Structure 1
């Protein structure tokens, strides 16, 4: 009986949610790119972990509580940042690799996997996950399938115009460097670990370039010291300056990497999406964005609702539009929509050296 009551409360909260239903019912606009291919972790995973033997899953209520399709595997109450970007590009929501079939792949595929990292060893505490190297192998499989039906020349020209969105690195810190059962922290200081990650990242992104990718949007890491999971470990409940400082060398290295790749790889254009800068602005001026709660999750257990993340059929907060964080690790859909919008048409303070809209408009050649 108790479980039934909880279920009814969840259903009722969906009906009265202040967040809008997603996806919206408006007609899609003209497509600005042929497709978008997505690589990353739980911030943009939309179901690739659902069928894995993994502890990193979100295919249950109340995840997806404000999403028309319900719980899909998105670690959000509705949209992720790439959902908003796809909408702004005039594309349908990009299907997960584990679920995409037939012509669905022609508008792109999402390969992201919760607990995945730049390093293959990252996230092993969660058992099943798809590291970036395997995500790229899955893209190769998709590419082979499309090429077989469309022809190599047509696919090569089309892929050069597609957007490749990559958001990796969070788990290499949260589920590797900061984990006591990993030796990483004893092997590398912050700068050395950032160097290791970006050396590998450079190799991986160059491989995507060699597979035909030309338009890259690379997301930096956010204010990780301010997520509810980290706040719950603080005696004061305040952001961890040490964790925020830990990831700064990574973001700095990624910016340098982007400049280098733009110089070294003919015809390619890499842009940097400054998630940290956008997040800092939200946390510093929450009211201007409509937020009221910035220091705890909407769904979670313990201090700051961040000690245990959102459990199946847990009743989340009702005023989700006013929360910055959905659970112990992930932002609400409201935040994701803001980040996606600003990445799409924001200035150089959030998208360098150009935004996604400007990147999409470039006419890049596959053999240039």
Structure 2
């Protein structure tokens, strides 16, 4: 570990201690929904091609390959650290029952999108719609375990982390040979389609008692190794057309947060996570965070190590903390740590209108 990376991790640990995070839960539970960026092993139990249950995934994780699409821990794992909450187990694991579900569950599924058809060629996956249905299954279990008053308190004080949208672009809109989306919708219309679906499911989650939501925006997808490998951008540059396509979604999600906070959802708070801005800062100023490689994957093959993603037993780079990207699509744990810290304690530029630390402290 180089000096800058060591110093950054010292600052993170010290900040955790100063904020009383270590050993002190700031919320009773964390419920995680999303895609492979936060999947903790749900796809291990599905008939899916999109799995990360093999080496070198998890090479730096204490449990080894767990189904997480990174070298160690995901954004939601690390955000849970800041909140003092252990990473919740995957919903699909048969052992996720009884007292194990009281601290929350992870419903995220690799290849899952906001709309059901996204990522369909990977096989089974939980879309946003299905993840909400799965949460309602958990809710039925909780009703049998807790009094109505205690359940209301649990739900209203829990943190809901939602990370959706990448597959609706990478494995739908940006694949015109397999999907008609880009022919049927311009970028603004497609973003509106996604946001309408998203809003309906947020309303469903609000209606059953959840009150504190963190909604992550899309990162700069035109900068991931998979997109750089297309050769559609000059060396050292991102694919600007892709970043422009996803712009309306991020702008719309931020507006949606404002609309949901305007009094139409009393007793609730919705937070927009500016993933695009934070990740852009990492890519524009890599040395500030201890990164030396920002344009290729640590594990992968082909141009930018992004044409073929991380294969079983493929040897990854050795200096993983210096890479922004782990594979063709996903960040390293080191990059996830920056994203989590900025979501937790960042300014209104990073998390709007408040950050996750402030969200946890709210008494709604």
TM-score, structure 2 as length reference: 0.92
Matches of 2:89 and 2:342, distance apart in 1? 23
Partner SS state of residue 66, structure 2: coil
Partner of 2:27: 33
Matches of 1:319 and 1:274, distance apart in 2? 27
Partner of 2:101: 105
Partner SS state of residue 214, structure 2: strand
User: In the alignment, which of 49, 65, 74 is matched to residue 59 of structure 2?
Assistant: 65
Alignment length, in residue pairs? 343
Partner of 1:94: 88
Measured against aligned partners, the alpha-carbon deviations of 1:135-170 in whole angstroms (never above 9, x if no partner) come to 011101111101111122210121000000111111
Partner SS state of residue 202, structure 2: helix
Measured against aligned partners, the alpha-carbon deviations of 1:84-133 in whole angstroms (never above 9, x if no partner) come to 11111111111111122321111110000000000011110101111011
User: In the alignment, which of 174, 177, 180 is matched to residue 173 of structure 2?
Assistant: 177
User: In the alignment, which of 52, 75, 82 is matched to residue 81 of structure 1?
Assistant: 75
Matches of 1:229 and 1:98, distance apart in 2? 28
Partner of 1:243: 242
Give 1:8-19 correspondences, 5 Å limit: none
Matches of 1:85 and 1:287, distance apart in 2? 23
User: In the alignment, which of 105, 110, 125 is matched to residue 121 of structure 2?
Assistant: 125
Measured against aligned partners, the alpha-carbon deviations of 1:234-272 in whole angstroms (never above 9, x if no partner) come to 253431000000000000000110000111111110001
Contact 1:54 1:129 in 2 (8 A): yes
Partner of 1:349: 349
User: In the alignment, which of 147, 161, 167 is matched to residue 163 of structure 2?
Assistant: 167
Q: Does 1:275 find its partner at 2:275?
A: yes
Contact 1:56 1:115 in 2 (8 A): yes
Partner of 1:15: none
Contact 1:37 1:109 in 2 (8 A): yes
Q: Which moved more, 1:257-266 or 1:149-158?
A: 149-158
Give 1:122-201 correspondences, 5 Å limit: 122-179=118-175, 180-201=177-198
Partner of 2:228: 231
CA deviation after TM superposition for structure 1 residue 210, in Å: 0.4
CA deviation after TM superposition for structure 1 residue 311, in Å: 0.3
Contact 1:28 1:91 in 2 (8 A): no
Measured against aligned partners, the alpha-carbon deviations of 1:200-252 in whole angstroms (never above 9, x if no partner) come to 11111011000111000000000100000000002534310000000000000
Query: What value does the CA root-mean-square deviation take over the aligned residues?
Result: 1.5
Q: Which moved more, 1:100-109 or 1:168-177?
A: 100-109
Matches of 2:32 and 2:103, distance apart in 1? 11
Partner of 1:331: 331
Measured against aligned partners, the alpha-carbon deviations of 1:53-83 in whole angstroms (never above 9, x if no partner) come to 1110001000000000100000000110101
Q: Does 1:208 find its partner at 2:205?
A: yes
Q: Does 1:312 find its partner at 2:312?
A: yes
CA deviation after TM superposition for structure 1 residue 190, in Å: 0.4
Q: Does 1:363 find its partner at 2:356?
A: no
Matches of 1:102 and 1:316, distance apart in 2? 38
Contact 1:38 1:111 in 2 (8 A): yes
Matches of 1:189 and 1:344, distance apart in 2? 34
